Amino acid sequence: MLELRLVQGGLLKKVLESIKDLVNDANFDCSATGFSLQAMDSSQVAVVALLLRPEGFERYWCDRNISMGMNLNNMAKMLKCAGNDDIITLKAEDGSDTVTFMFESPTQDKIADFEMKLMDINSERLGFPEADYHAIVRMPSSEFARICKDLSSIGNTVVISVTKEGVRFSTRGDIGTANVVCRQNTAVDKPEEATIIEMNEPVSLTFGLRYMNSLTKATPLSNTVTLSLSSGLPAVVEYRIAEMGYIRFYLAPKIEE
């Protein structure tokens, strides 16, 4: 059986909000490594990888590896019924085709349980190749989301280029062009406001803004975002979830025909 008690229940709500538009159905895997998910978006352009480590849970009990297939829209509907401050517990009995979400208010005066049907999902485990990235950019997640949103009102794709100058986000559309350059900036009051650029060699990749905008829905999970870029490889857009793990999006670039 499985029982996972997460005091910061709001975090699971945010996780679902950040992936439910990208992925319809996915297997949540529960093992000694943690509560994880790996899924490809329906248009096969992006992969989501989530890990919530056992240490982040007040109670983390699963006596064997369990994979639970869930429709993420339905799961999001259920989690929307939990308050942002609620404690969320997931429970599943061995061999059961349902999972129960229990929501407790912080003062313990309201307890709700929602039972959701599980589904069978055949999904291949993907092998993520080890890569040395040409450039790694860490920046405030809100700034990255703002840039993607702004550029998507001008064009459909974004070219992300890292040079000695900084990281450049460019787009082009019927009404004109737009360029936003962020330079390395570590002279900030708080570390999460810094922009840090590690460049081994210059890199320039093109991505669909629709996907970029979709994955910036993870912004509430972390103050910072890390972009790892290499020519001809998917970008890795990572939001670290404080003390618990991460949500990573692998986004395929557009390639020359």
Partner 1 sequence: LKSQARIARFFQAS
Residues contributing to the site for partner 1 (CB under 8 A): 40, 44-47, 124-129, 157, 206, 208, 233-234, 250-257
The least distance separating partner 1 from the CB of residue 254, rounded to whole angstroms, comes to 4
- For the beta sheet containing 196-199, the strands, ordered from the edge strand earlier in sequence to the opposite edge, are 66-71, 25-31, 34-40, 46-52, 245-251, 235-241, 224-229, 135-140, 196-199
Our CB check for partner 1 shows the closer of 46 and 70 to be 46
Cβ 70 to partner 1 shortest distance, Å? 21
Residue 245 CB, nearest distance to partner 1 (Å)?
Answer: 20
Closer CB to partner 1, 40 or 194, in the complex: 40
Which 3 state secondary structure label does DSSP give 55?
helix
Measured between alpha carbons, how far is 22 from 46 in angstroms, rounded to an integer? 8
CB of 123 to partner 1, least distance (A): 10
- Residue 21 or 143 having the CB closest to partner 1: 21
Query: Pseudo-torsion of CA 50, 143, 222, 27, nearest 10°?
Result: -20
* Alpha-carbon torsion, ordered 55, 61, 62, 68, to 10 deg: -80
Q: Which is nearer to partner 1, 1 or 131 (CB)?
A: 131
